[in-house]
Amino acid sequence: MNSLEAHIRETNTKGELNAVRQNGQVPAIIYGGKDENQKVSVSKKLLKGLIEKENFLSNILTLNLNGKPQNVLPKEVKYHIISDEPTHIDFLRIVPGIKIKIEVPVKFVNHEKSPGLKRGGVLNIVRRKVELKCPSEKIPENITIDLDGVDIGESFKISSVKLDSEVTPTIQGRDFVIATLAAPTVMKEPEKPAEAETIEGEPGAEGSEAAADGEKTPAEGEKKDADDKKGADKKPSEEKK
């Protein structure tokens, strides 16, 4: 379990909060349980190191407050809109026996042992986190799904996950899907239309465009002129005398 030094702060104005931040500290508050809310501050440098770790918001921390350890759960971190530096954090006080709601990440293991993935199957992850209701002392680190022996077409539902009897999903009444192993998708290139096969600049390209516009092509014009000339030379044998 990670730990973090915390200091009690007596701040009531925006200026006092800014002074705390300028000293390399992040204002925080501890709430929950029967005790009153407690204003504290923590080192920004150490806090950023913990935030960068995986699953920060689903892991219990120990705050060392004036020499007394207090287990807490990070619930919300606020960041500066420009610098993206943490500016405030809320900690939920952990009280043994009290159930809390928490999102737990889903972890997939043994990818290399899945025959479905070896044959090109695709792991479609529907839920990367599952919200659970559980006692604070029984928060699972993650929900583990084993891909060993899993083939294409199989799915993973919440009912297939082994949870402690006191740990339950907040979604009740349906056996929701966490992930599926689907068949590979092959993308086919669309067939080229017949009109597009004639490349601009090749013989026939201009003629095709002219014909499409209802105009005569050069070849058609020459043929018509020849036919007209031939008709002019021909004697009018059918004229009435």
Kindly state the tokens that stand for 135.
């006692």
| 102/129 Cα distance (integer angstroms) | 10
74 confidence band (pLDDT: 50, 70, 90) = very high
Distance separating alpha carbons of residues 110 and 139, to the nearest angstrom: 23
Cβ(182)–Cβ(150) below 8 Å: no
* Cα-Cα-Cα-Cα dihedral sign, residues 8, 10, 13, 14: negative
- Convert 50-74 to b/e letters by CB count within 10 Å (16 or more is b): beeeeeeebbbbebebeeeebbbbb
Tokens found for residue 47? 């806090």
Helix ranges (H only) for 52-194 are 115-118
Mean pLDDT to the nearest integer, 206-228? 49
CA atoms of 159 and 156, how far apart (whole Å): 8
First to last CA, the chain: 121
What size, in residues, is the chain?
Answer: 241
Q: Is residue 16 pLDDT above 50, yes or no? A: yes
* Residue 192: band (very low, low, confident or very high) from pLDDT cuts 50, 70, 90: low
The yes-or-no verdict on residue 203 having pLDDT over 80 is no
Under the banding of pLDDT at 50, 70 and 90, the label for residue 189 is low
Q: What is the share, in percent, of the chain residues with pLDDT greater than 70?
A: 76
Both tokens of residue 83?
């610098």
Q: Where are the domains of the chain?
A: 2-94, 100-182
Alpha carbon 238 to its chain centroid, in Å, reads: 86
pTM of the predicted model as reported, rounded to 2 decimal places: 0.63
Whether 115 has a pLDDT exceeding 80, the answer reads yes
With 80 as the cut, is the pLDDT of residue 155 above it?
A: yes
Q: Is the pLDDT of residue 226 over 80?
A: no
CATH fold of 100-182 = RNA Polymerase Alpha Subunit; Chain A, domain 2 (2.170.120)
CATH class held by domain 2-94 = mainly beta
Q: Quick check: helix, strand or coil at residue 116?
A: helix
Q: How far apart are CA 12 and CA 1, in angstroms?
A: 32
| Both tokens assigned to 22 | 């300028």
- Label residue 40 left, alpha or beta by phi (over 0 means left) and psi (-120 to 50 means alpha): beta
